[in-house]
Amino acid sequence: EDQVTQSPEALRLQEGESSSLNCSYTVSGLRGLFWYRQDPGKGPEFLFTLYSAGEEKEKERLKATLTKKESFLHITAPKPEDSATYLCAVRSGGTYKYIFGTGTRLKVLA
Amino acid sequence: DGGITQSPKYLFRKEGQNVTLSCEQNLNHDAMYWYRQDPGQGLRLIYYSQIVNDFQKGDIAEGYSVSREKKESFPLTVTSAQKNPTAFYLCASSPDSTDGNTIYFGEGSWLTVV
């Protein structure tokens, strides 16, 4: 069964304290792994799409990496405005469904 | 601007009423989706549509109905048969082509039963 697990559930960081969020997945034929940022009461905002192991993408303080079993979202020198819930999703081959994790709630303290 | 527009942002439903949530996209995407988000849970798929005039049930379709008469529109009706409709509803779309299949979301609609 296709499955996505995100860890940790919640993370508190001091401003400037770098860390990583984990997304472990089990899927039949990966057709994409997606990261989103979601602020309270808003829809998820697209961050990155990764398609194959070894792929990396960066945007400002965020960097996403992908292996055959997991993806990491690295946050370098975070700022309070990076506080949000970060969602991970996968799409498996032969299906139109996207499987979402439950997210990591990130709080960055000034 | 290109994007997905959901309306209304907030909706209140009385017991026994059907209500409809609107979703319009101008991204020229073929596929559209409806998700439900409850606190502490991941997004759960209600319905999806790959092409006009065709749609499929997701994991929690009971008590909901949809239509796809136009490529850009995918309204969701929450019927009185849905026993626990209070939630945050998200509409999404994806190109679902060789150009990529990233799924994009609207801003969401809050539904509350009063």
Does the pLDDT value for residue A105 go beyond 90? yes
Residues of A in contact with B102 (CB under 8 A): 32, 34, 46, 49
Nearest to B65 by CA among B73, B74, B77: B77
Angle at A83 between CA A81 and CA A89, to 5 degrees: 125
Q: Which of residues 57-96 of B touch A (CB under 8 A)?
A: 58, 88, 90, 96
Mutant choice from B57, B74, B102 vs A, greatest count of A C-beta within 10 A: B102
A41 in reach of chain B (CB within 8 A): yes
pLDDT one-digit tens code per residue, B38-69: 987 889 999 999 999 999 999 999 999 999 99
Q: What's the whole-number average pLDDT of chain B?
A: 92
Residues of B in contact with A46 (CB under 8 A): 102, 104-105
Confidence band for A78, pLDDT divided at 50, 70 and 90: very high
pLDDT one-digit tens code per residue, A10-66: 999 999 999 999 999 998 888 899 999 999 999 999 999 999 999 999 999 999 999
